[in-house]
Amino acid sequence: DVVMTQSPLSLPVTLGQPASISCRSSQSLLDSDGSTFLSWFQQRPGQSPRRLIYKVSNRDSGVPDRFSGSGSGTDFTLNISRVEAEDVGVYYCRQGTHWPWTFGQGTRLEIK
């Protein structure tokens, strides 16, 4: 199985400041059709997960533009340009290129 490794696992951030989460995969996520199926999810306390980003850098409908994704191959990043209070929660990367789809361990974002 593809192992997804996130860092940091805990991320204290001051309101209005940027935040960045790294995700590395144990093998390339480039699919045979040229797509890279790397997604980012947000899970607020007590809620179901919500996908923010698909195919590395595409925002899902309704996702604020302060969230952005980048990367290629095995190294990926989720950036939040200015953290707001509603961003508190756990963030997961997930690869959908190789079966079984696998998640990172999660990064807990908290307000400093």
Q: How many amino acids of this chain bind other proteins (CB under 8 A)? A: 26
Place of tokens 């963030």: 91
Q: Which is closer to other proteins, CB of 16 or CB of 47?
A: 47
Q: Are strands 102-103 and 107-111 parallel, antiparallel or unpaired?
A: unpaired
Distance CA 7, CA 23 (A): 7
Q: Is 85 exposed, middle or buried (0-12, 13-18, 19+ CB in 10 A)?
A: exposed
108 contributes a contact to other proteins by CB under 8 A = no
User: Applying CB under 8 A, which of residues 24, 28, 51, 77 lies at the interface with other proteins?
Assistant: 51
Structural contact between residues 102 and 94, judged by C-beta atoms closer than 8 angstroms? yes
Site for other proteins in 9-38 (CB under 8 A): 35, 37
99 contributes a contact to other proteins by CB under 8 A = yes
101 contributes a contact to other proteins by CB under 8 A = yes
Residue ranges binding other proteins (CB under 8 A): 35, 37, 39, 41, 43, 48-51, 54-55, 58-61, 92, 94, 96, 99-106
